[in-house]
């Protein structure tokens, strides 16, 4: 009795992907894109906060320089970042970041306070208003009015 080995036939070659495989890849891609978008928005919000804080610090330095020059704090911000038109105006060292209104509030002989308010608070609801005063104390407020200084002014 002879045993004959017979070669097995290989299965036909299938090319391409099944619909199920494509749907799984599409679902995973969508989840990763959602995570990346949320992370990107958070990074942009942190960068905008940093830019606003730096602008407030520059205004604080300009206010102290104004007091050294004139003997009193300025009561108004000059509209353009060029030279101030009057001794009571503070020339902004740089243009403020887009989407924010800057102003001097609570000015007295011994103190000042610089305020930045978001024109569209929905872009950063946690830090919709930022303030800096003579004592270099940062204050922040959310849209709902709650104190968010710790989160918005952390280093």
| Any domain includes 91 | yes
Rg over alpha carbons for the chain, rounded to the nearest Å, is 30
* Virtual torsion, Cα 33, 37, 43, 46, nearest 10 deg: -160
Q: What is the mean pLDDT of the chain?
A: 83
| Any domain includes 145 | yes
Where in the sequence is the domain holding 89, given as residue range(s)?
A: 19-152
Residue partners of 1: CB distance under 8 A and separation at least 6: none
pTM of the model as a whole = 0.71
| Any domain includes 147 | yes
- The beta strand positions in the chain, using DSSP E, are 76-77, 89-90, 100-105, 113-118, 129-133, 138-141
| Any domain includes 4 | no
Tens digits of residue pLDDT in 45-104: 888 889 999 999 988 888 888 889 888 888 888 755 555 566 677 777 667 788 888 888
Mean pLDDT of all residues in 96-123: 86
What is the percent of the chain with per-residue pLDDT over 70, rounded to a whole number? 86
| Any domain includes 113 | yes
| Any domain includes 56 | yes
Q: Total structural domains in the chain? A: 1
Cα separation, 50 vs 41, whole angstroms: 14
| Any domain includes 12 | no
Question: For residue 124, what pLDDT band results from cuts at 50, 70 and 90?
Answer: confident
Q: What is the pLDDT of residue 140?
A: 93
Q: What 8-state DSSP symbol labels residue 95? A: P
| Any domain includes 134 | yes
Q: What is the pLDDT of residue 18?
A: 87
* pLDDT exceeds 70 at position 27: yes
């Amino acid at each position: 009795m002879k045993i004959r080995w017979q070669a097995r036939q290989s299965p036909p070659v299938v090319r391409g992907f099944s619909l199920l495989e494509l749907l799984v890849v599409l679902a995973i891609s969508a989840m990763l894109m959602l995570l990346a978008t949320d992370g990107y928005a958070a990074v942009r919000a942190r960068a905008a906060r940093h830019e606003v804080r730096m602008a407030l610090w520059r205004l604080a330095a300009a206010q102290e320089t104004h007091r050294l020059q004139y003997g009193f704090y300025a009561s108004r911000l000059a509209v353009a970042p060029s030279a101030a038109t009057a001794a009571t105006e503070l020339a902004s060292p740089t243009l403020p970041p887009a989407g924010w209104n800057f102003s001097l509030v609570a000015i007295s002989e011994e103190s000042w306070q610089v305020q930045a308010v978001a024109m569209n608070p929905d872009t950063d609801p946690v830090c919709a208003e930022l303030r800096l005063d003579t004592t270099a104390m940062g204050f922040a407020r959310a849209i709902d009015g709650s104190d968010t200084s710790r989160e918005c002014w952390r280093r």
